[in-house]
Structure 1
């Protein structure tokens, strides 16, 4: 059996694990199975909520920890929640008011479900347990203004999962903190991890991991901070990293 340098593979989903058709390619699936068979813990590290991520874990046959909602949830296994971080309800109210003021699309993840302007109800503010808020606009000036307003609010971790959106979690909550918790659960060191992603919500993880990998389709800031840039999500970039960097002798 290989003596592995890297024992945890933390995978972003959209733009990384999934191709542009939101599917896992057969080649990528094959190499993930090979990694798992060699003893590598394959862990989703995604901005998606649990319900949006879990079916892909089931497809791959994974029973490993998962990081969902950009680190607001860490799952010890696909069926056991280990930790959850919530946003203050007053902050959610303020962020919703900003979305309405600028007339931009918004969404929010709560323990009770996901919401946007189509199913938003002010009564939900006090009833729900909130984990993430997001905005989408292709207007750079408006997006910049919203960032400034969010920074003024304080207590927020501001990232994105595309150049046109903003994703907001509680301050200090990100994929890197999630991976550290998973390492503690598995008895691993951060130096033994590989983190792969394409957007700013992957940046902290890529900087903190033993090997930080940017996809070929990643945002420029992510590529500039990665140790390695691999092929795109449509060209099995994950498979290449597993083959050439993980399934090799220490």
Structure 2
């Protein structure tokens, strides 16, 4: 018989901010029972849990149901603040499509052809992929278009890039060197280099959500695995990188836990709160 749930012990943290892919989610896009139980026990005791992810709101909505999420979620690398309770965006920033095209042109002038996709803005926005682009997460729905111009048919929150030969680190470094103020360049996972509105990061979205919740940086513990989580770690009072995390994130983390496959988030939550 399972032990009865008990309230979380007092902790210095009032907010748990978790990335999804490579952090809270396992490789098969599922949550472990241990992670779900740890989060349930902590949130039942009054600690807030906030998803902070690169996924756009439509790709986050079904996952929040598994997490009993009825509050806020930071989506689209910080470009969207989504309210799951009302199924609407409280705040969103779009990437100017002309600037996005210009940025793509500058990148391709340096590295040759890249393959692109976009996440459309809105709670029902689609993910569009051009010919040659391969989705890093095959379980995520996407609509293939016939030509690149079709990517710009509606407002977008970000552009996703892949190169046939360059590594993610190489592509991201080149993109940063030529894009300048046209967009913010992030690397959010294997095969996922992204362009988002200039100045927008996970930290800007997290700060906005925390303000809504009446929580500050010192009250927040953040979990992540990729360089796009660095701004979130810089903002939060305590940053926990997964064992499978990119070296750039591990270098700025306060702690490295076990991997996403080995319940790394739950391991820390159980120690800090339970």
When normalised by structure 1's length, the TM-score is 0.89
- The aligned counterpart of 1:62 is 69
Post-superposition shift, 1:87?
Answer: 0.9
- CA positional deviation for 1:123: 4.7
The alignment of Structure 1 onto Structure 2 pairs a total of residues equal to 246
Using a 3 Å threshold, how does the CA distance of structure 1 residues 220 and 60 change in structure 2: closer, same or farther? same
Give the direction of change, closer, same or farther, for the CA distance of 1:227–1:151 in structure 2 (3 Å limit): same
In structure 2, what is the equivalent of residue 215 of structure 1? 242
Find 2:216's aligned residue among 189, 208, 220.
189
1:115 paired with 2:125, answer no
Aligned twin of 1:29: 36
Q: Name the counterpart of 1:134.
A: 160
> Compared with structure 1, are the counterparts of its residues 142 and 202 closer, same or farther at alpha carbon in structure 2 (3 Å cutoff)?
closer
**d(CA) in 2 for partners of 1:142, 1:60:** 30
Residues 163, 171 of structure 2: 8 Å contact kept: no
CA shift digits 1:76-135 (9 cap, x unpaired): 44423111011111122224444697333321111231111143351552x411111111
Cα RMSD of the aligned pairs, angstroms, is: 2.2
Matches within 5 A, 1:39-188: 39-78=46-85, 79-97=87-105, 98=107, 102-111=112-121, 112-118=125-131, 119-120=144-145, 121=147, 122-125=149-152, 127-137=153-163, 139-140=165-166, 144=170, 147-155=173-181, 156-188=183-215
Mapped to 2, the partners of 1:70 and 1:124 lie a distance apart of: 19
Identify unmatched segments of 5+ residues in structure 2: 1-6, 132-143
The CA distance in 2 between the partners of 1:5 and 1:142, in whole Å, is 36
Q: Output the CA distance in 2 between the equivalents of 1:143 and 1:211.
A: 25
State the alpha-carbon separation in 1 of the partners of residues 174 and 238 from structure 2.
32
Structure 1, unaligned runs of 5 or more: none
Structure 1 residues 192 and 170, CA gap change in structure 2 (3 angstroms): same
Alpha carbons 1:102, 1:142 under 8 Å: kept: no
1:230 aligns with one of 257, 263, 271: 257
Partner Cα distance (1:132, 1:161) in 2: 12
Q: TM-score, normalised by structure 2?
A: 0.82
Please list the CA deviations of residues 122-164 of structure 1 after superposition, one character each: whole Å capped at 9, or x if unmatched: 1552x41111111123633796367435543322211112254
* Alpha-carbon shift at residue 225 of structure 1 (Å): 0.4
Which deviates more, 194-203 or 87-96? 87-96
